[in-house]
Amino acid sequence: MLLSAFAGNTDVKYELSEAMSRRSLPHAIIIEGDKGCGKKTLAGILAAYAVCSSDGERPCGRCPHCLKAEKGIHPDIFSLDGNKPGELNIDSIRNVRAAAYIKPNEAANKVYMLFNCEKMLIPAQNAFLKVLEEPPENVMFILTAASSSVLLQTVRSRSRILTLYPPLPDEAAAVLRTRLPDKSEKELLEAAETAGGNIGLAAELLKSGGEEERKLAEEIFRAVFMSAEYPLLLLTNRLSKDRTFAVRVLDCLCGLTAECVRAALGAENTSDKAKELSDRISANRLTVLQKNVQHAREVLNINVNLSFYSTWLSGVLRSTENGG
């Protein structure tokens, strides 16, 4: 994929485009943002840039290096994923540090992509810091995380941090159209709107059906602002049976609240559903709700008891009414 085809994030694309045209990308880049917002996709574009042999625009998408990068078989592009056991532990990072000083196999540069770095413990980060302090020539490190704050300040200070946000729903729908050509325009746009423009989440919803999750997320949103507490508790209790279902509902709720915040702030191209849901609710209250929903989603990453979680979630969402 070319950088120009990456959805949304105009400021980030402009910064990278300028640096690419000058052949001056930094040796270490941290890409932060919610799951599904394109961190891995952008990392792949940057990796292709690093190995591309074109004398013009990079990545060109046509040279042998770009073609291998696109297929995931380039011998100078390496990836480790914190979601896979042992891939970002201290031994793995020490191996990366040692191998980084070996010359590339085919391209002029080589790339190490470290995904989901929130799983990288402090000892491993300290080991990685040593290679950042004295970076080898012709090597690029690309790290991804939901938030760069999980990384040591000394790691952050030696890297360029790029923050990604979901594109507008119509931009997300355009990307989904290329990935899921069998889906109707209505399905694509509805999924993009429900996901708040988050392409990864919208794709998951479309592949899984997602109608039940979208409907429950909307019902929970409406119940938060009801005077009675019991309806919300009944709705959150439906999350206590299946963790995968609970994750999808919370992902939908994250996207929905983000879209409602944009609607309340008067942003263009927000959906009619978001405008209707956010009507007569202040942007401040919606922002508090968005933070509470994001926190609740993060808690689901821990192996919590779902029965306790569903009750706790009701209280957390209700705290929006008190500004907490």
**Same domain for 273 and 249:** yes
As a whole number of Å, the end-to-end CA separation of the chain is: 42
C-beta of residue 145 within 8 angstroms of C-beta of residue 115: no
Please spell the DSSP secondary structure of 69-104, one letter per residue.
Answer: HHHT--TTEEEEETTSTTTTSHHHHHHHHHHTTSPP
Residue 241 or residue 292, greater confidence: 292
The whole-angstrom separation of Cα 285 and Cα 24 is: 42
Please tell me the predicted confidence (pLDDT) of residue 32: 94
Six-digit token pair at 165? 């946000």
What percent of the chain shows pLDDT beyond 70? 98
Residue 194's domain spans which residues?
Answer: 169-322
pLDDT tens for residues 182-237?
A: 899 988 988 888 888 889 888 888 887 778 888 999 999 999 999 888 999 999 99
Q: What is the CATH number of the domain that holds 30?
A: 3.40.50.300
**Same domain for 94 and 37:** yes
**Same domain for 151 and 188:** no
Nearest C-alpha neighbor of 271 from the set 260, 281, 280, 279:
260
Query: Mean pLDDT throughout 167-192?
Result: 89
Residue 321 or residue 158, greater confidence: 158
**Phi (first) and psi of residue 282, to 5 degrees:** -70, 155
Among 163, 195, 225, residue at a domain's last position: 163
Please tell me the predicted confidence (pLDDT) of residue 70: 93
Please tell me the predicted confidence (pLDDT) of residue 152: 95
Confidence grade of residue 321 (pLDDT, cut at 50, 70, 90):
low
Confidence grade of residue 274 (pLDDT, cut at 50, 70, 90):
confident
**Same domain for 185 and 158:** no
Residues 6+ apart with CB under 8 A from 83: 115, 116, 119
| Residue for token pair 């290329």 | 178
pLDDT tens for residues 97-106?
A: 999 999 999 9
Judged against a pLDDT cut of 90, whether residue 293 lies above it is answered with yes
The total of other beta-carbon atoms located within 10 Å of residue 16's CB is 21
**Same domain for 199 and 277:** yes
Confidence grade of residue 151 (pLDDT, cut at 50, 70, 90):
very high
> 142: which strand partners?
29, 113
Q: At what angle do helices 199-208 and 211-224 cross, to 10 degrees?
A: 120
Query: Mean pLDDT throughout 56-75?
Result: 94
**Same domain for 189 and 81:** no
Domain count of the fold of the chain: 2
The whole-angstrom separation of Cα 50 and Cα 314 is: 47
Please tell me the predicted confidence (pLDDT) of residue 324: 47
43: enclosing H helix or E strand = helix 39-51
Query: Mean pLDDT throughout 233-250?
Result: 90
| Residue for token pair 């040692």 | 98
Please tell me the predicted confidence (pLDDT) of residue 15: 94
**Same domain for 70 and 22:** yes
Task: Provide long-range contacts, Cβ within 8 A and 24+ apart, for 98-107.
Answer: 100/131, 100/135, 100/136, 100/139, 101/136, 103/138, 104/51, 104/76, 104/138, 105/75, 105/76, 106/51, 106/65, 106/74, 106/75, 106/76, 107/50, 107/51, 107/53, 107/65, 107/74, 107/76
Of 202-206, 259-263, 296-300, 308-312, which has the strongest mean pLDDT? 308-312
**Same domain for 115 and 16:** yes
Residue 190 or residue 11, greater confidence: 11
Nearest C-alpha neighbor of 317 from the set 210, 216, 240, 222:
222
Q: Mean pLDDT across the chain, nearest whole number? A: 90
3-state secondary structure at position 284? helix
Confidence grade of residue 123 (pLDDT, cut at 50, 70, 90):
very high
**Same domain for 279 and 241:** yes
